C-alpha cells in the first residue's frame, strides 16, 4: 500500500514514541515540502530537531506539489518546480478559504497520486473524503 503521512501523523508517531519499524513496514510512505516545512517551522529547536530526525528516518519519497501557491512558511527546494496554476483538486479542497492551504496541497498530492492519506485532522478527513481521497487515522494505519 502507498501512504501519504500528514504532518500531524508524523507528530503523533513522535509524541507516542511509536517504533519506526512498525511504520515503515506498512508500505511505501510519501511526503511533500509541506510536511517538511511545517516541521521545520516548529519554534522549539529541540522538538524541531527530534521531529526532523524522525521525518528523515521514515525514508519517505518526496512528491512534488501540483499547485503553485505562495505561502511564506513553505520551504522550497531545487526539485520543486514553480507552478503558477491552482489544480482542480486543490480548489475543491480549499474552497474560498486560505486557512486550509497546507491541507489542500497535501490532499491534492494524495488524490493525484492515488495515495491513502494518513491524518488525524478531522476537517481534512471530511474534505478529502468528499473528493474521494481514501483516509486513515494514524491508529487505523497502525492496525492495518
What is the pLDDT tens value at each position of the chain, 144 positions in all?
999 999 999 999 999 999 999 999 999 999 998 899 899 999 999 999 999 999 999 999 999 887 766 555 665 666 655 555 666 656 666 665 555 778 888 898 999 999 999 999 998 999 899 999 999 999 999 998
Domain boundaries, the chain: 2-142
Cell numbers for 53: 530526525
Cα gap 110→84, rounded to integer Å: 20
Per-residue buried b or exposed e for 88-110, using 16+ beta carbons within 10 Å of the residue's own CB? ebbeebbeeeeebbbbbbbbbbb
Q: Does domain 2-142 have CATH number 3.40.50.1010?
A: yes
CA torsion through residues 3, 58, 9, 101, sign: negative
Amino acid at each position: 500500500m502507498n501512504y501519504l503521512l500528514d504532518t500531524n501523523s508524523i507528530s503523533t508517531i513522535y509524541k507516542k514514541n511509536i517504533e519506526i519499524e512498525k511504520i515503515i513496514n506498512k508500505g511505501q510512505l510519501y511526503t511533500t515540502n509541506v510536511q517538511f516545512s511545517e516541521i521545520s517551522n516548529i519554534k522549539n529547536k529541540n522538538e524541531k530537531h527530534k521531529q526532523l530526525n524522525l521525518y528523515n528516518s521514515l525514508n519517505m519519497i518526496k512528491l512534488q506539489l501540483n499547485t503553485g501557491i505562495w505561502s511564506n512558511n513553505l520551504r522550497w527546494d531545487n526539485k520543486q518546480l514553480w507552478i503558477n496554476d491552482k489544480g482542480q483538486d486543490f480548489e475543491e479542497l480549499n474552497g474560498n478559504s486560505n486557512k486550509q492551504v497546507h491541507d489542500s496541497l497535501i490532499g491534492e498530492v494524495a488524490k493525484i497520486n492515488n495515495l491513502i492519506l494518513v491524518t488525524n485532522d478531522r476537517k481534512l478527513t471530511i474534505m478529502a473524503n468528499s473528493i474521494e481521497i481514501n483516509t486513515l487515522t494514524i491508529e487505523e494505519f497502525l492496525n492495518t
